[in-house]
Copies of this chain bind each other. A is one copy, B any other.
């Protein structure tokens, strides 16, 4: 049987890494025994916590696969987030929870759902196929769902995610609140990163209508720790604004314990943040209560007010 490479998106998060491991198990159970769980980038600290907790190895690092190879995509479908020669391989399956950004010239198995995490779909696939979920697989799944939904508090959370976490926590024998917070905290350890790296950990270029912007985000259990770096962060943000000719740079410091974000906003369109959220920027910063999701709570609101 020909080898099948399974991988999530570049710059992988916990969902991409665990989904490749879980999908490899699932495919093996389906009878596809020559599968290999892979990753397209380094393991982040949150994912490292999960792998260490289970005492298991990370998926194999690959940069690309040979033309004509069989692949399965998890947690992504956009060619921009995948291997460079995606148009030259044979995609057997896609399991994903993002918008549809792929076009193919052949039929394939494609399963996407509007849920908070790929692992929630994997959980349903195991159920539908009557496959048992063991403790290791359950831990991988529940870790990713907690990660993507910030402990089920993100507005991306659905009933399916909540149900999955409930059952998977029992199989994994964890208290999701306790385990989840420890895991999320592990991911917020910024000690090894410099200012520029912190600003680029999770930064996206987004145009709010005419307002050319970058919205960067960092999760933390200790907002003050990051705010201590404010002067240095602002200096580098201003440099980036000049270099890239931006109208706005929003840096969200998201408090994973209390589900708020402290925003630092710079650039000539910074006041758009005041208008959008009904807040007053003081010394370039304000608290955005309840805001944790860039996709659901920043992009639409900023676009509407731009």
Say which residue of B105, B109, B113, B115 sits within 8 Å of A112 (CB atoms): B109
Q: Which of A95-103, A205-213, A216-224, A231-239 contacts B (4 or more CB under 8 A)?
A: A95-103
A98 to B112, CA, bound (A): 15
Q: Mark A8-44, 1 if CB is under 8 A from B, else 0.
A: 0000000000000000000000000000000000000
Please give, as numbers and ranges, the residues of chain B lying within 8 Å of A113 by CB-CB distance.
107, 109-110
- Whether A112 contacts B110 by the Cβ 8 Å rule is yes
- Tallying the copies of this chain within the complex gives 2
Please give, as numbers and ranges, the residues of chain B lying within 8 Å of A128 by CB-CB distance.
128
A103 to B128, CA, bound (A): 27
Please give, as numbers and ranges, the residues of chain B lying within 8 Å of A104 by CB-CB distance.
99-100
Contacts A110-B111, A128-B128 given: A102-B105 contact, CB under 8 Å? no
- Whether B103 contacts A97 by the Cβ 8 Å rule is no
- Whether A107 contacts B103 by the Cβ 8 Å rule is no
A106 in contact (CB, < 8 A): yes
A68 in contact (CB, < 8 A): no
A108 in contact (CB, < 8 A): yes
Given contacts A100-B103, A111-B112, 8 further A-B contacts (CB under 8 A): A99-B104, A99-B107, A107-B112, A107-B113, A107-B114, A107-B115, A108-B114, A110-B113
Q: Which residues of A contact B (CB under 8 A)?
A: 97-115, 128
28 of the cross-chain contacts (CB-CB < 8 Å) are A97-B107, A98-B107, A99-B103, A99-B104, A99-B105, A99-B106, A99-B107, A100-B100, A100-B102, A100-B103, A100-B104, A100-B108, A100-B110, A101-B103, A103-B103, A106-B114, A107-B112, A107-B113, A107-B115, A108-B114, A109-B112, A109-B113, A109-B114, A110-B110, A110-B111, A110-B112, A110-B113, A111-B112
